[in-house]
Structure 1
Amino acid sequence: MPSAPHDLAAFLVEAKRRPYAGLDDDATVAAPLLAGSKQLEHHAPPYAYRDIYFGMGFFVGQETVSRDERVIWSMSYSGGVRAEITEREIFLAIYKFLRQALLRVGVEEPYRGPRLFEQDGMAYRNEIEGSIDRFHGVETIARQDGTPLYELRYGGGLLR
């Protein structure tokens, strides 16, 4: 089993805080590799991060990290806002809240957001199993009263 470079987790945190969660427009690629996708990138040699996803209400995507132009780590994900949520204001509030949670990603578990984050009447929960070399998890957002609003499943690890 290969071990992760000690700086991979720190790079992942930096890469995840900037493009989507940080709304860094410079990270958005104008001509994505796959037609119809959104593509976000972050570079800090020797590492390069790429996140390609499709959809908005329900979305699927994949993140990759390359070191010296060789992909060494990847994470796939799918999920989104519950189908019955159709009001634009609620939809936008959920994703604004999600970005706030994702900004709190830490080097101990650099996959999505923290285990728990609460703000503005919503609660983000992230249940994670594994470590940076092989992991999976589920993140959810619910109202404080427990009404589910959003769910995403993810998994990944070091490639070998």
Structure 2
Amino acid sequence: MMDVPGDLVAFLIEAKRRTYAGLDDDATVATPLLTGSKQLEHRAGSYAYRDIYFGMGFFVGQETVSRDDTVIWSMCYSGGARAEITDRTTLLALYKFLRRALLAAEIEKPYRGPPVLSVDDMTYRNDVEGSLDRFHGVETIAKAGVQLYELRYSGGLLR
């Protein structure tokens, strides 16, 4: 395992809470680097976080954390709602629950949400292996026992 900067985890959780998880697309920058993408950013001290993604129902993206303008950590992800879920209202409700789960990220595994979060008939699950230096995982959301969403992700410290 590589040596993880002590303040990286705290910054990563703060950055996620101040971008998509906490603000949805309201955190999107006006002029993204890649045409057609959503780009969310957060800076604090020597760290900078950037999340760039494409799509909504099914989406792909990459998060990066830079320290002193050098990218030191990254995570790629892809997934989304089941293909038959196409109406915007259902997608927005699903992603609202996802953001709630992401806000509950744990210090030990700050990549996405907690292992399990259940509210009413919605259940978020996150199964992850590894540590901040190298990890991969799958998160799902089910409603009344029927899976509606799946996302796969992986990443780690760059060297």
Same-fold call, TM > 0.5?
yes
Q: Which residue matches 2:52?
A: 52
Equivalences for 1:61-76 in 2 at 5 Å? 61-76=61-76
In the TM superposition, what whole-angstrom CA distance separates every residue of 1:53-99 from its partner, at most 9, and x where no partner exists?
Answer: 00000000000000000000000000000001123332221111101
State the Cα RMSD in Å: 1.3
Residue 11 of structure 2 corresponds to 11
The 8 Å contact of residues 48 and 65 in structure 2, kept in 1 or not, is answered as yes
Q: Which 4+ stretches in 1 moved above 6 angstroms?
A: none
Amino acid in structure 1 at the alignment position of 2:62: Q
Question: For residue 33 of structure 1, what is the aligned residue in structure 2?
Answer: 33
Residue 23 of structure 1 aligns to a residue whose secondary structure is helix
Deviation at 1:25, TM superposition (A): 6.6
Asked if 1:147 is matched to 2:133, the reply is: no
Whether 1:99 aligns to 2:99 is yes
Count matched residues: 159
Q: What corresponds to 2:156 in structure 1?
A: 157
Could you tell me which runs of 5 or more consecutive residues in structure 1 were left unpaired when the two chains were aligned: none
Percentage of identical aligned residues: 74
Q: Return the offset for 1:26.
A: 6.7
Structure 2 residue ranges without an equivalent (≥5): none
Counterparts in 2 of 1:157 and 1:31: CA distance versus 1, 3 Å: same
Cα contact 1:17–1:105 (8 A) shared by 2: no
Counterpart of 2:140 in 1: which secondary structure? strand
The Cα shift of 1:45 comes to: 1.4
TM-score normalised to structure 2 length: 0.96
Counterparts of residues 83-94 of structure 1 (less than 5 Å): 83-94=83-94
Shift of 1:120: 3.1
Q: Please give the per-residue CA displacement for 1:10-53, whole angstroms capped at 9, x wherever unaligned.
A: 11100111110111677321000000000000000110000000
